[in-house]
Structure 1
Amino acid sequence: MADIRSQDIGRLFSPKSIAFVGGSIAEMSIRRCVEMGYQGEIWPVHPKRETLAGYKCYASIADLPSAPDAAYIGINRELSITVVGQLASIGAGGCVCYAAGFGEVGEEGQDYQDQLIAAAGNMPLVGPNCFGFVNFMERCALWPYLFGGDPVAKGPALISQSGNIAMNLTMNQRSVNFTYVIATGNQAVMGAGDYIDALLLDERVTAIGMYVEGFDDIEKFSKAALKAMAKGVPIVVLKVGKTEASARQTSSHTSSLAGSDTLYDALFTRLGVIRVDSLNRLLETLKLLDTSPPLRGNNIFSLSCSGGEAAMISDLVPEHHLEMLPFSPAQIDQLRGQLPNYVTISNPFDYNTSIWGDQAAQTDVFTAAMSGNHDAAFLIYDHPTVNGEEVAKEVAEWIMTLDAFIAAHKATGIPAFVVCTISELLPKELRSYLISHGVVPLQGFDDALFAYSAALKHYQSKQQQITLPRFPEVHIGADVDSQVIDEYYSKIALKEFGLTIPAGGVGTKSQLAEIADKAGYPVVLKAVGPEFLHKSDMGAVILKLNNAEDVADAADSIIASTTAAGVPATQFLVESMVAGSLAELIIGINRDDQFGPALIIGAGGILVELVADSVSLLLPTSRSAVKDAINSLSVAKLIGGFRGQKKGDLEAAIDAVMAVAHYAEANWNKLLELDINPLMILPEGSGVVAADALIIQSK
């Protein structure tokens, strides 16, 4: 990508003059600007027409009064390349390239895209193959099609690789009004990191939402995300493509656990970026971040006049890692004095209908409920959609409830949220009313609680030290010439970095008895060599050998099995058997094209395929991150002493993972895969032992 300063992109996004190049598409974009009330210069460019959308046309770029701050190019791809070069040569602030038929259509299109990149030089270019952008604060649209939204003074911005999704999001009915909407298309010249950097220069941007299909420059995005965190501008990402289409069959278990999408999760978590899985959650999270004060914690309570709603929120709260602690004794006494004795004082709080329509009584009850130590208050509220004079008085009683909640919020200062069970039951006028009084309107139970939990996690991330991961220094293609390091030498290499391995050694059949005697019985016997990657399948491993005679018989058996498989064993590994294991982990490294060597920790042994319970971490990592990762696994219950059993040696397990991480960093440019399975967890204080290991690296 070009070396473009974010300040230069700012000129493009807030233009005082815009050139519109082309016919109908350019004319549509001019109309969008006029409809918004754009106050800058509009200069249509067309070689044959005298006017466009009522404005005088210039015959060419050379005829323009001066270099425009921005240009919208709505012509075919061949002419677009020419015009981009002309704009760059006169010092234009940047342009939007609408045309398709570039890199998105394959090799031929990529040739055109390379020409476009060369023509742009260091001039900012949005696209190609995109709608463009809208600036709702300067009221300009380099964008031809209809869009929603109102002019704003501040708020979240949106970066989207899909123009149509961006357009639809502007028409949301969730009170999310964007400052900027940018459809990035092919990102030939500028990528996500460039757009984030530019938006961070505008103090009016409170949060950044993103619809992402992929990143061309992960490192640049990561650096921009760190800047956003430092500035206090949250980033919320909906990244599609969770299936790992490029997953390839490899010789280790670890690769079955890894994939780029899991690494994106690891990256976002590390950078404090909020990942969402739906457009609704993208909008609700952006709204909460934009309109709520910083969140205090995960202890919430809810108010409702229905037991059904109370039961629903009670079920959802633990799914989003929130909790609903009881009211204090003082609050319970106060509330009992304000309500009939048949009302149960609990959290969630069904205050019943006894005070319905009595705004003063509701205010008192809500204020008492909001005066405790909870971190946030949720009023469950669904506005009736029934209209007409005959029901106006009844509908007014719903508004009384909102006013009582607003009054209690102002009296107590607790962060306050109104949430409807389904999104349609909180109309725009009420959302605006609530926001104007400092109350956040959220739409849909599940999405609302997700948004709160995600925002809370973001604020908590700000309190932690965040560092960039390490990214690949060299690209290693799928056709790389690789080298398999057998189990013994893999273990020896990792032992140098602090990994504990069983006592034992390697030898020929005649040397096995001596090695076994030194290791101590019982022992395990294995064939070793790069061809023995799946020993159990080949009959190349035998356990629980109690004397030299057993070892000799086992060697004969392995020789027979491997000879039948066409790879007769000549070298053997003898190791002492590990007894007393409480749990097993798999520790692995899998190399990703974008992220480089990535660390995988999961449930080991036969559980690898059975439960596929794993966590991915980017390198370098820390002991605290590794500890959190292990504790997130289901096998953590065994390590922690399940049902009164002995605890496993968690600290030694962390040591083992860190040893692997340090090995990976030391072999960063050549390590392809690494597999330790299982790592056997012994009782607390007794350590861990790597029972099997495999390293694959480039030659």
Structure 2
Amino acid sequence: MSRDLSRLLRPRSIAVLGSGWAKNVVEQCRKMGFDGPVWPVHPTRDEIGGAPCFRSLADLPAPPDATFIGVNRHATLDVVRELAAMGAGGATCFASGWEEAGEAGLQAGLVASAGDMPILGPNCYGVINYLDGALLWPDQHGGRRVERGVALLSQSSNIVINLTMQARALPVAYVACLGNAAQVGLAELAGALLSDERVTALGMYVEGIDDAPAFAALAEAARAAGKGIVCVKSGKTELSRTAAASHTASLAGGGAASSAFLRACGVAEVNTLTELVETLKIFHVHGPQIGTRLCSLSCSGGEAGLVADLAAPYGIDFPPPSDAQRHRLGEILGPIVAIANPLDYHTFIWGDGPRTTDVFATMLAGYDAGIFIIDPPRPDRCDPSSFEPALQAIVAAGQATGKPAFPVSSLPENFDEALAEGMMAKGVVPLMGLETALGAIRAAQTPAGAPGWRPWTARAEAGEARLLPEGEAKAKLAAAGVAVPKGVSALTLAALEPLVGNIAAPFALKGMGFAHKTEAGAVRLGLSSLTGQAEMPGATGYLAEEMVTGAVGEVLLGLRRDPVYGMTLTLGMGGVTAELLADTVTLVAPVTEAEVEAALRRLRLWPLLDGYRGRRKADVGAIVQAAVRLQGLMAAEPAIREIEINPLMVREEGAVAVDAVIWEETP
């Protein structure tokens, strides 16, 4: 359901219920210069925060556009019901002690009381609108009025309060919290914030995504409007509750699925709040994506080496200048300066504004964006005036080329807020702290998601699941078009012995009933007969298969239903060391063949599949086809919870699923 949140987010009148916290709301609105009426409502007090009180909601001169409800959780239900009946625009519910405190059913009662009226929370701080000076906010904050800026949306009130205290020149238009999100969810509130044309980008601190398809639609709409989204996703170190069941569950658990989902949506993901702020600054000025060809300029060889070293873990490299650039830069800088990227332009031109501008613009013109390492001296102890020509040259180079020009300070404190605000006003984004800057630039390069992409609809697990016998599992794979070894099976070794003559030696003997056969000692390889083979304790049956020869590499393919994102596909280097290597990439379904191949190329050990140092090349197409066919199998059979092939033995031509695990819901 899409509700109209405009009155709640951009109110012309505000009602406030409660006492202590309500007083803060009244005072914050006055301090921020809200030009509409603020109506405290209290049954016994004459004034709150200097504003006269109304005895009840019924005494208000008109239905309020927005209401801050600072009363206890049980009284909140009655207040919400009355506000909805009188046609109020929406409310934020501050009280805690709902589902998170074991009050079953109370939160559902709140939603029922609200009806069609939007509510934020409960257990929610509320909203700050710095554009119009309207606050439903019971605490201090560090923001101020702006004409345009980014929106900050958080599932943690404390974290977003901390973000308002930033001194990095980020203009903030809105701050909003979700609390328990009993009614208005993440995508709905985010969309309402982005719908304000004065909002340039959205930053999010997310603990959980409640509606993945709606979030994907939001991200696509934001890109279409020229607005970037950057996200810090918490909880990435949590292990999946089914981690013990398979390699896939362990490797795709935690943050792998959420990161894959955000990447598919085209949402930039960062790990730290400082990277969040710096990425938002880039989006605010330059829009949702910058190019990947970067140059770096500094007046020190040490800085040039440092930026190159620090950029490598972010996957950022610096392509060399063109011949034309080399020629022109050589003319300006002289024969002593080695023309390269990163460029150490020395200090021969220091203080010469026109020559510095020429160097900066000439270099920047050949790239998508440029990093200009510059640490202005602290103004309280030093004279920073000698740095002004270089700072002006950065601005001029950006304006002349139309390319993002980023002044980057090595240490965050070396670029003070006033100087940063002046640069931002000129369309230049100063980035504070070299490592943070590199992380923000990499995040700002996140490509858009595929048009129309939506994850599969997630569904709750229904009942228990059973591990299919491997023979049955492989029959499903074969029917889906995935190659499997020729094999025979039986309940006992004695029953299996006369059947092994139907397969070619050497063969592998496996005990059934184990999710991890190797760890259970249920795999014996290279056998030519079953003579002398002992029973395997705990085995529910036996499978003998022809051993696969001529393999170039071993790959893991794992698909599992995800309770949030629908289905994930994990690809990686396989075998018994799969989790030890942890060289995997996770995607969120649906995926295309091109996306699967691109994911394989992101593996650290991809060169081993691609003919590293004269090795034979693996049939990558066969891996891709197997992954896509398994995706089709999951789509066709909703009862399947998880499929894992580990390993898929890949030859120069073709690939064979040597080991297969399928978990299926029991009827």
TM-score (norm 1): 0.91
Q: 2:142 aligns with which of 143, 148, 157?
A: 148
> Which residue pairs with 1:645 in the alignment?
615
Q: How does 1:239-318 map to 2 (within 5 A)?
A: 239-292=233-286, 297-318=291-312
Per-residue deviation, 1:633: 1.8
> Which residue pairs with 1:698 in the alignment?
665
The change in CA–CA distance for 1:252 and 1:363 in structure 2 (over 3 A counts) is closer
The change in CA–CA distance for 1:642 and 1:39 in structure 2 (over 3 A counts) is same
Per-residue deviation, 1:266: 1.2
Instruction: List runs of 5+ in structure 1 lacking aligned partners.
Output: none
Per-residue deviation, 1:511: 6.9
> Which residue pairs with 1:324 in the alignment?
318
1:439 equivalenced with 2:428 (yes/no): yes
The change in CA–CA distance for 1:238 and 1:331 in structure 2 (over 3 A counts) is same
Question: Structure 1 stretch 486-495 or stretch 219-228: which is displaced more?
Answer: 219-228
Question: Structure 1 stretch 58-67 or stretch 614-623: which is displaced more?
Answer: 614-623
Q: How does 1:502-521 map to 2 (within 5 A)?
A: 502-507=485-490, 515-521=499-505
**In structure 1, what is the Cα distance between the partners aligned to 2:291 and 2:501?**
59
**In structure 1, what is the Cα distance between the partners aligned to 2:409 and 2:267?**
26
The change in CA–CA distance for 1:230 and 1:412 in structure 2 (over 3 A counts) is closer
> Which residue pairs with 1:382 in the alignment?
375
**In structure 1, what is the Cα distance between the partners aligned to 2:162 and 2:171?**
12
Per-residue deviation, 1:124: 0.8
> Which residue pairs with 1:674 in the alignment?
643
The change in CA–CA distance for 1:694 and 1:78 in structure 2 (over 3 A counts) is same
Specify the SS of the correspondent of 1:697: strand
> Which residue pairs with 1:123 in the alignment?
117
Q: How does 1:153-552 map to 2 (within 5 A)?
A: 153-292=147-286, 297-371=291-365, 373-387=366-380, 392=383, 395-457=384-446, 460-461=447-448, 464-473=450-459, 475-476=460-461, 480-507=463-490, 515-527=499-511, 529=512, 531-537=513-519, 539-545=521-527, 550-552=528-530
- 8 Å CA contact retained: 1:583, 1:680: yes
Give the residue type in structure 2 aligned to 1:476: E
Percent of aligned pairs with the same residue?
Answer: 39
Specify the SS of the correspondent of 2:170: coil
Per-residue deviation, 1:294: 6.4
Q: How does 1:519-668 map to 2 (within 5 A)?
A: 519-527=503-511, 529=512, 531-537=513-519, 539-545=521-527, 550-553=528-531, 556-557=532-533, 560-562=534-536, 565=537, 567=539, 572-668=542-638
Question: 1:479-528, CA deviations, whole angstroms, 9 ceiling, x for partnerless residues?
Answer: x332221111100111111100112333565775765444333222334x
Specify the SS of the correspondent of 1:153: coil
**In structure 1, what is the Cα distance between the partners aligned to 2:207 and 2:517?**
40
Runs of 4+ in 1 over 6 A off after TM superposition: none
TM-score (norm 2): 0.95
Count of matched residue pairs:
665
**In structure 2, what is the Cα distance between the partners aligned to 1:13 and 1:43?**
17
Specify the SS of the correspondent of 2:183: coil
**In structure 2, what is the Cα distance between the partners aligned to 1:359 and 1:663?**
65
> Which residue pairs with 2:51 in the alignment?
55
Per-residue deviation, 1:265: 0.9
Question: 1:48-70, CA deviations, whole angstroms, 9 ceiling, x for partnerless residues?
Answer: 12222232211001111121111
Specify the SS of the correspondent of 1:92: coil
Instruction: List runs of 5+ in structure 2 lacking aligned partners.
Output: none
Give the residue type in structure 2 aligned to 1:618: V
Specify the SS of the correspondent of 1:552: coil
Give the residue type in structure 2 aligned to 1:552: L
Per-residue deviation, 1:337: 2.6
- 8 Å CA contact retained: 1:525, 1:551: no
**In structure 2, what is the Cα distance between the partners aligned to 1:339 and 1:552?**
79
Per-residue deviation, 1:540: 4.0
Per-residue deviation, 1:408: 2.8
Give the residue type in structure 2 aligned to 1:645: R
- 8 Å CA contact retained: 2:470, 2:660: yes
Per-residue deviation, 1:27: 1.6
The change in CA–CA distance for 1:409 and 1:483 in structure 2 (over 3 A counts) is closer
**In structure 2, what is the Cα distance between the partners aligned to 1:302 and 1:154?**
30
The change in CA–CA distance for 1:386 and 1:536 in structure 2 (over 3 A counts) is closer
Specify the SS of the correspondent of 1:378: strand
Per-residue deviation, 1:131: 1.6
- 8 Å CA contact retained: 2:227, 2:283: no
Question: 1:535-587, CA deviations, whole angstroms, 9 ceiling, x for partnerless residues?
Answer: 44555433223xxxx4231xx41xx332xx255x6x54332221111110111
**In structure 1, what is the Cα distance between the partners aligned to 2:313 and 2:542?**
50
- 8 Å CA contact retained: 1:298, 1:321: no
The change in CA–CA distance for 1:397 and 1:120 in structure 2 (over 3 A counts) is same
- 8 Å CA contact retained: 2:126, 2:178: yes
Give the residue type in structure 2 aligned to 1:404: A
- 8 Å CA contact retained: 1:619, 1:665: no
Q: How does 1:5-154 map to 2 (within 5 A)?
A: 5=3, 8-105=4-101, 107-108=102-103, 110-154=104-148
- 8 Å CA contact retained: 2:249, 2:560: yes
Specify the SS of the correspondent of 2:64: coil
CA RMSD, Structure 1 to Structure 2 (Å): 2.1
